[in-house]
Amino acid sequence: MSKEKKKIDPQIILLDLIIVIMVFVMLGVGYGLYFEISFDKEYSSGIRDASKMSYELSENNYSSFIRDNYINEYNGYNEAVSYKALADYVEALSLYKVYSAKGYDMRADEQAKIMDRARSEMGELTILADKADAKFGIER
């Protein structure tokens, strides 16, 4: 008795390969969704924590400070008025620096007005505004 070798159909091999690829794609999509959901849960409640925002300032992490301000604003948390004013000041300061360096005087003047308004609202955090001025090389 002789055993015949079964021919493997190329279509079955192709379908098996497609199934394996689809499994890996589904795992990747599932992991991405898990990451997005966990990230959304972490930041959906808002930053709200003035101590976290002050830590970011002490580490000269101005971009995260501004981002946290927008997260708080998006979530309707506006109780830390002085920190919001300081974040507005730092954002306007960075834009002022860019506009004045590029020669956009009208836009720089608009940012200077925002800086003045924010400085008047931030209370005792003006010390941190002075620190940001020194960091960006602005004389006031």
Q: Where are the domains of the chain?
A: 8-44, 47-136
Q: Which of 27-36, 113-122, 127-136 has the lowest mean pLDDT?
A: 127-136
Residue 3: per-residue pLDDT: 65
Confidence class for position 140, pLDDT limits 50, 70, 90: low
Q: Is the pLDDT of residue 15 over 90?
A: yes
Q: What is the pLDDT of residues 73-118, one digit of tens each?
A: 887 777 778 888 888 999 999 999 999 999 999 999 999 999 999 9
Helix or strand holding residue 48 (H, E): none
The residues, any chain, with a CB within 8 Å of residue 4's CB and separated by 6 or more, are none
From the list 76, 11, 25, the residue with the least C-alpha distance to 48 is: 76
Six-digit token string for 74: 């998006």
Q: How many CA atoms within 13 Å lie on the side-chain side of 91?
A: 17
Q: What is the pLDDT of residues 31-66, one digit of tens each?
A: 988 888 877 666 655 555 666 777 777 777 888 788
